[in-house]
Structure 1
């Protein structure tokens, strides 16, 4: 039992201490799941907690908030890599290692889902560029739908630009 502050008459109020809660193990598992899925609600449920509790912990714990931001960034980087793999001809946007991990029943690979939709990936990355739910211009609006050919053309142009930039740095013209 934990003692609380005084009531109107200055008496102590007694309440039960929280059981379990956000233990270090639950925090780590939540952040790992969040980095794999970029899904806050699913990550909270995966560790037996409510999404609102995750948000409350983030609001009161600066270290957890920083780890949360890092997990979201890692998830976006994974999404970018899968989109790039898709653009380069890997039909599902996965590497052989990821495919083998899914075949072996790897929980992290399964949490990403077997289906990869490049249109949804582009929308998610657009949401990130605009600042996500935290604000930024156009936050919460969806990107326009583009054809697969348009998506591939944009990605190939960006790859060509990166290749030219790398060639200029290394002196290979």
Structure 2
């Protein structure tokens, strides 16, 4: 099949063909999607996110849709924490670049992409304001989802059920 590399992965992340069909129609060959979210794809996403703070660009660098990463962040507390750490790294880098640019004379031949200062400052202010609000326990905290591993949720529920069973037993 054209576009498939030696590793079995090619354009569009197609890895092989599969035969599909249903009771009311004939069998047909169809390209099987190879969009499994590997550790390498997660790492590529997080690396680019730390560099750019841009989810769409980061997902593109990993060869996966951005929706896949948003769903993963919602489901996986560890990945959600890594996402936040990558964003914090990216914002710290942006802040450092803005400071460096403010302290040096602009050199048109230094090979760096120009920074939209107004946009960068608005983004940093927004991030800083959300962090302050979250630390106060005020605005912004209710809009953030706390990522908790399923095992932790199940353990908390079991503790509550044990307490409830003791109360029922004591009252009977």
What range describes the TM-score normalised by the shorter chain of this pair? 0.5 to 0.7
Confirm or deny: 8 A CA contact 2:46 2:83 kept in the other structure: yes
Q: What is the aligned partner in structure 1 of residue 117 from structure 2?
A: 118
Cα distance change of structure 1 residues 39 and 90 upon mapping to structure 2, 3 Å threshold: farther
* In 2: Cα distance, 1:60 partner to 1:18 partner: 22
1:70 aligns with 2:69: no
* In 1: Cα distance, 2:93 partner to 2:115 partner: 12
Residues 1-173 of structure 1 mapped to structure 2, 5 A cutoff:
19-91=34-106, 114-131=113-130, 136=140
What does the per-residue CA deviation read over 1:47-88, in whole Å, with 9 as the maximum and x for residues that have no partner?
111111110011111111111000000000001101111111
* In 2: Cα distance, 1:90 partner to 1:44 partner: 35
Deviation at 1:90, TM superposition (A): 4.2
* Secondary structure of the corresponding residue to residue 131 of structure 1: helix
What does the per-residue CA deviation read over 1:77-116, in whole Å, with 9 as the maximum and x for residues that have no partner?
0011011111112427xxxxxx5xxx6xxxxxxxxx7121
Structure 2: unaligned runs, 5 residues or longer: 1-31, 144-172
Confirm or deny: 8 A CA contact 1:35 1:74 kept in the other structure: yes
* In 2: Cα distance, 1:52 partner to 1:79 partner: 25
Confirm or deny: 8 A CA contact 1:58 1:65 kept in the other structure: yes
Structure 1: unaligned runs, 5 residues or longer: 1-16, 93-98, 104-112, 140-173
Cα distance change of structure 1 residues 115 and 18 upon mapping to structure 2, 3 Å threshold: same
Instruction: Calculate the TM-score normalised by the size of structure 2.
Output: 0.53
Count of residue pairs brought into register by the alignment: 104
Deviation at 1:22, TM superposition (A): 1.3
